[in-house]
Structure 1
Amino acid sequence: MSRDSRLARMAHVLVHMACHEGVATSETIARMLNTNPVVVRRTIAGLRDRGYVASEKGPRGGWRLTRRLEELTLLDVHRALETASVFTIGPSDDHAACPVENLANQAITGALDQASAALEAALGQVRLSDILAEGQALRAAMDHSRSQHQCPNAVAAQ
């Protein structure tokens, strides 16, 4: 089963863009994501259409954030990507006249609707600034841990 990782990838990109406070070219983003710049432009277009990023042309051009991370949730990014469905399962239309298939479809559709609502509620609770803050805390903890475990000689040798 293939996965759609666009949400994670675009959240990753937006947080990096906020950290670097400038423009990021499609080529730079493509290298970060190990993909093609055309894929980046196609994917980020939905974010541009929603007003989350803007593109600037010219030699110093690229993509820049137009919103603060505190104003963006994972749900915002998810909706901007225009994902048809987060689920690969769905109802069947093999035997539309069969009442059993129709009942099975109703049950599956109802469950998927509930799951989708729960997922959207959870995504709406996570701001991109939360991801940045957790990343900064993790980095600080790692830096502290490294400094605690260095040998005195190694510090003196630096």
Structure 2
Amino acid sequence: QAAALALRKVPACNSSWMNDFIRQYHNVNINVAVQTEHGLFVPVVRDADKKGLATIADEVKQLASRAKDNSLKPEDYEGGTFTVSNLGGPFGIKQFCAIVNPPQSAILAIGSAEKRVIPGAAEGQYEIGSFMSATLSCDHRVIDGAMGAEWLKAFKGYLEDPTTMLL
């Protein structure tokens, strides 16, 4: 949900290179990478920016199940505007770089969360915080480094303050 909302905040990142022009999409359709014994599938959650976290989680679970059963239809994986890949959860990978799926112009690689000790407010105190890596790969014909950083800032803001994602 945070990725979809960040695309609403930085809509230029919800675009594709079309050989001689850039197409900016109005719908935020997020492809989610799913590894199966039949290979990698990227089914799409349509209008993800208009859905809550529970709805998105249910759709991803259903799409992943259908991908593993090899029963996805073309409409289940066509029309995505942005991809999210999560090797952290199923494989425990801390950080990685994903390859953009043309004609999309970006893909977000999510690493595993890990607990770290952080200094507390008073001397000698500490807290435990959760940290994860998120790497954005971009087609620089569409999304340059500054625009990608702007999108990552919006994404980080949603993750650090989840109440901002309430629809």
* TM-score normalised by L of structure 1: 0.30
Structure having the higher strand fraction is 2
Structure having the higher helix fraction is 1
Q: Point out the structure with max Rg over C-alpha.
A: 1
